[in-house]
Amino acid sequence: MRCPKCNHAQKNSVECESCGVIFERYRQFQEKKKAKDAPTIRPAEKKTLLSKMLQLVLLVIVVAGTTYYFTRYPSSGPEQIVAEAPAVDGMLSQVPQIPIVAPKVKARLARKPENTRYNTIELARNATVSIETPWGTGSGFFISKDYIVTNKHVVEIDGKKVADFKKQVLKSRVFIELEKETIAGYRKRIRTLPKGPQRSQFAMIIRDRLEALERALLRQQKAEDRLDQLEAKVHPSSIKIIMADGTEYVANYLLLSADHDLALLSLYVEESTFLKKSPVGNSLRQGDKVFAIGSPVGLRHTVTSGIFSSYRRKGEDGPIYLQTDAAINPGNSGGPLIDENGYVWGVNTMILRDTEGIGFAIPITTVYEEFSSSLY
């Protein structure tokens, strides 16, 4: 045999003839050394190892369950059933749609992040206001905590329209005076007629013309009052601002742009939501989804959607406009044009007459350039 220590070959199986080691003692020494060097697991380490094993088992169960759920119930997105409000004849009103969540996706919707498109549009709607003046209505929106931007034509009537309206009022004055003279002539003549069919006929004519004159006088009085308002100098106190919750205020300050169809109003309220422009470096691309918010034909805080169509320039050296197919109607003027993230890109301004889906907005960058001294 060979010595386990020095590898000397010999026949003696008890003790090595070369190094003198006793084989049995050497074997016991080696076993004790192995037992000493072997790694030991302390109680705390045993607990940690057990916890990790349990976590691994739980992860396997969750992954398996999730795979089964989406295989069993495939869905491209949240399923909703929208309850429609019943139609009401003879009345138009803004009725909120109430989403009823289907049972099998209710849990997933409960975990949906707060930053959804609905909340984005709701915040933009709260930042939008309705504007009423003696000569019409329009929209506007908070561009900062204390300032509202709108179109100049919303808060200031066009001079040519005032002149045309004044001509109509003057023409109606002349007509009323002529009608008074005509009726006076009929009354004078009826006194000369004997009782009979002719006198009765003249009496009916006079009565009908007096009734028509009375109606004309009422219309004329309203027109005269409106003309006085149109000819008066625009004053902030004559501009009513209606918030999303229906609260009404009057403007504190008015600043009109000399070069653009823009106006800036100041309104100091305790709480206000304002719209922000997109971060530097971003730009609208053709086909990007946009939303127009305003009060078309008196329907306050209406939201319409569309796409950004193109950048357009008025004339060779004129201002640049944003073209969109989002529905813009009378009353939308001055409202915001926003993207899906709630950033404002423009001020809705005008549409092409006798067309559909061709509306224009003044870029928000123009607003900041025009009113930089007030907004910064």
- pLDDT, mean of residues 306-332: 89
Give the tens place of pLDDT for each residue, 252-287: 989 999 899 999 999 998 888 999 998 888 889 999
Least confident range from 110-119, 133-142, 156-165, 339-348: namely: 110-119
Of the ranges 37-41, 243-247, 355-359, the best mean pLDDT one = 243-247
Q: What share of the chain is helix, strand, coil (3-state, %, to 5)?
A: 40, 20, 35
CB atoms within 10 A of CB 360: 21
pLDDT of residue 24: 75
Mean pLDDT score, 234-238: 82
8: confidence class by pLDDT, cuts 50, 70, 90: confident
Nearest by Cα to 322 from 313, 331, 330:
313
pLDDT winner (highest mean) among 131-135, 304-308, 329-333: 304-308
Distance (Å, rounded) from C-alpha 341 to C-alpha 124? 10
pTM for the model stands at: 0.58
Q: What residues does each domain of the chain span?
A: 1-34, 127-156+238-375, 159-231
Write out pLDDT tens, residues 72-97: 444 333 333 222 223 333 333 333 33
pLDDT at 92: 32
Give CA–CA dist 361/359, Å, rounded: 7
Summarize the confidence of residues 285-300 as an average pLDDT: 90
- Greater confidence, 215 or 65? 215
**Residue 279 CA to its chain's centroid (Å):** 17
Structure tokens at 324: 């969109």
The pLDDT mean for the chain works out to: 79
Tokens of 369: 């350039």
Question: What does the alpha-carbon distance between residue 142 and residue 335 come to, in Å, rounded to a whole number?
Answer: 10
Q: Is the pLDDT of residue 12 over 80?
A: no
Q: How far is CA 89 from CA 23, 93, 290, 295, in A?
A: 112, 11, 32, 21
Strands (E) in the chain, as ranges, are 80-83, 98-101, 128-133, 136-142, 147-150, 240-242, 248-250, 253-256, 263-266, 289-294, 302-313, 320-324, 336-339, 344-351, 359-363
Query: What CATH number does domain 127-156+238-375 carry, 1.10.10.10, 3.40.50.300, 2.40.10.120, 1.10.260.40?
Result: 2.40.10.120
| Predicted confidence band of residue 63 (pLDDT cuts 50, 70, 90) | low
Answer for the pair 286, 324: CB distance below 8 angstroms, yes or no: no
Flag whether pLDDT at 112 surpasses 60.
no
